[in-house]
Chain A
Amino acid sequence: MKFEKYEWVAIAIMVSLFIFVGFIQGWSVSLVILNMCIISAIMTMGVNISWGYAGVINFGVMGFLAMGGLAAVIVSYPPITESWKAGGTGIGVSFVLLVILVTAVMYINKTVKDKRNRYIFNTIFIIFGILVIRHFYLDATESIEDVNPAIAGFLGGLGLPIIFSWIVGGFFAAGVAFIIGKVALGLRSDYLAIVTLGISEIVVSVLKHEEWLSRGVKNVIGLKRPVPYEINLQNTDWFINLITYLNSSKLNNIVDVSDRQQVLNNLIIDGSGIFVKLSYAVLFLIVMFIIFYFANKAQLSPWGRMMRAIRDNETAANAMGKDVVKQHLIIFVIGAAIVGVAGAMLVTLDGLFTPSGYRPLRFTFIIWIMVIVGGSGNNLGAIFGGFVIWFSWIEAAPLTTFIINQLTAGLEPTNALKLHLLDSVPYFRYLFMGLILLLILRYRPKGIIPEKVRHS
Chain B
Amino acid sequence: MIDFLNSVIVLLNFIIIPGITYGSQLAIGALGVTFVYAILRFANFAHGEIMSFGAMITILFTWFFQSQNIGLGILPTALIALPIGIVATIILCIISDKFVFQYYRYQKSVPVVLAMVSIGLMFVINAIIRIIIGTETIKFSDGQKFIIKAKQFKVITGLNEGLALKSSQVITILITIALLTFTFWFLQKTKTGKSMRAFSDNEDLALLSGINPDRVVFITWVIVGVLACVAGTLYGLDKSYKPIIYLNLVLPIFASAIVGGIGSPFGAVVGGYVIAFSEIMVTYAYKKFFVYILPSSLEPSGLVQLLSTDYKFAVSFSILVIVLLIRPSGIFKGRVL
Instruction: Choose the segment among A41-49, A90-98, A193-201, A258-266 that binds chain B (4+ C-beta atoms closer than 8 Å).
Output: A193-201
Asked if A74 is an interface residue, CB under 8 A from chain B, the answer is no
> Taking the nearest CB of chain B, how far is it from the CB of A321, in angstroms?
26
Please tell me if the beta carbons of A193 and B112 are within 8 angstroms of each other in the complex: yes
Pick the most buried of B251, B313, B314, B325: most chain A CB atoms within 10 A of its CB: B314
Q: Answer whether A435 and B328 are a contact pair too, CB < 8 Å, given A195-B321, A198-B251, A198-B320.
A: no
Interface assignment of A125: CB less than 8 Å from any CB of chain B = no
Q: What 5 pairs between A and B have smallest CB-CB spacing?
A: A434-B123, A434-B124, A431-B127, A437-B120, A198-B317
- Quick one: given A209-B308, A431-B124, are A201 and B113 in contact (CB under 8 Å)? no
Whether A431 contacts B131 in the complex (CB less than 8 A), given A360-B247, A438-B121, comes out as yes
Given contacts A190-B42, A430-B124, A430-B127, could you give 8 more A-B pairs where the C-beta distance is less than 8 Å? A191-B258, A195-B317, A195-B324, A199-B317, A202-B318, A205-B313, A368-B116, A423-B134
Give the distance to chain B from A426, nearest Cβ to Cβ, in Å.
8
Residues of B within 8 A of A369 (CB): 119-120, 123
With beta carbons under 8 angstroms apart, the residue of B124, B126, B131, B326 that contacts A424 is B131
B130 at the interface (CB under 8 A from A): yes
Pick from A9-17, A181-189, A237-245 the stretch touching chain B: A181-189
Q: Name the B residues within 8 Å of A205 (CB-CB).
A: 310-311, 313-314
The residue that B116 contacts in the complex, of A187, A372, A424, with Cβ under 8 A, is A372
Most chain A Cβ neighbours within 10 Å, of B116, B308, B311, B318? B116
Instruction: Return A254 CB to nearest CB of chain B, in Å.
Output: 49
- Residue from A184, A423, A445 in contact with B321 in the complex, judged by beta carbons closer than 8 Å: A184
A184 with B324: in contact, given A57-B112, A424-B130, A434-B127 (CB under 8 Å)? yes
Contact (Cβ within 8 A) B313 A201 = yes
Give Cα A181 to B324, complex, Å.
13
Interface range, A side: 35 or more
Which residues of A406-456 have CB atoms within 8 Å of chain B's CB atoms? Answer: 421, 423-424, 427-431, 433-435, 437-438, 441-442, 445
Q: Which residues of B contact A187 (CB under 8 A)?
A: 324, 328
Cα(A187)–Cα(B43), bound, Å: 14
Q: Is A365 engaged at the interface, CB distance under 8 Å to the other chain?
A: yes
Check if A434 sits within 8 Å of B116, measured CB to CB.
no
B311 touches A209 (CB 8 A): yes
Asked if B171 is at the interface (CB within 8 A of a chain A CB), the reply is: no
B317 A201 Cβ-Cβ under 8 A = yes
Chain A positions within 8 Å of B255 at CB level: 194, 198
**Beta-carbon contact of A428 and B131 below 8 Å:** yes
**How many residue pairs bridge A and B at CB < 8 Å?**
121
Contacts of B258 in A (CB 8 A): 191, 194
Q: Which residues of B contact A246 (CB under 8 A)?
A: none
Taking a contact as CB atoms under 8 Å apart, the answer to whether B124 and A438 are in contact is yes
B187 at the binding interface (Cβ < 8 Å):
no
Q: Is A394 an interface residue (CB 8 A)?
A: no
Chain B interface residue count, Cβ-Cβ cutoff 8 angstroms: 45
The A-contacting residues of B in range 256-276, CB under 8 angstroms, are 258, 262
**B35 in the interface (beta carbon within 8 A):** no
Which residues of chain B are near A435, meaning CB under 8 Å? 120, 124
Question: Is the beta-carbon distance between A438 and B324 smaller than 8 angstroms?
Answer: no
- B247 and A189 form a contact (CB under 8 A): no
Does chain A have a CB within 8 A of B103? yes
Taken residue by residue from 194 to 217, chain A's Cβ proximity to chain B (1 for < 8 Å, 0 otherwise) reads as 110111011001101100000000
CB-based nearest A residue for B109:
A445
Note all chain B residues with C-beta closer than 8 A to A320.
Answer: none
Please indicate the chain A residues that have their CB under 8 angstroms from the CB of B314 in the complex. 201-202, 205-206
Residues of B with C-beta under 8 A to A150: none
What are the residues of chain B within 8 A of A201 when measuring CB–CB? 251, 313-314, 317
Answer whether residue A361 sits at the interface, using C-beta atoms and an 8 A cutoff: yes
Cβ contact within 8 Å between A190 and B112: yes
Which B-chain residue is minimally distant from A435 (CB atoms)? B124
Shortest Cβ distance from residue A274 to the other chain B in the assembled complex, whole angstroms: 34
Q: Which B residues, 163 to 193, have Cβ-Cβ distances below 8 Å to chain A?
A: none
Q: With the chains together, A321 CA to B258 CA distance in Å? A: 32
Interface residues of B in 96-141 (CB under 8 A from A): 100, 103, 110-113, 115-117, 119-128, 130-131, 134-135
CB of B284 within 8 Å of the partner chain: no
Chain A residues, Cβ within 8 Å of B130 = 424, 427, 430
Find chain A residues with CB under 8 A from B277 CB.
Answer: none
| Residue B22, interface by CB 8 Å | no
28 residue pairs from A and B, CB less than 8 Å apart? A183-B321, A186-B328, A189-B110, A191-B262, A194-B255, A194-B320, A195-B320, A198-B251, A198-B254, A201-B313, A201-B317, A205-B311, A205-B313, A209-B308, A365-B119, A365-B123, A368-B119, A424-B130, A427-B131, A429-B127, A430-B130, A434-B122, A434-B124, A434-B126, A437-B117, A438-B117, A438-B121, A442-B103
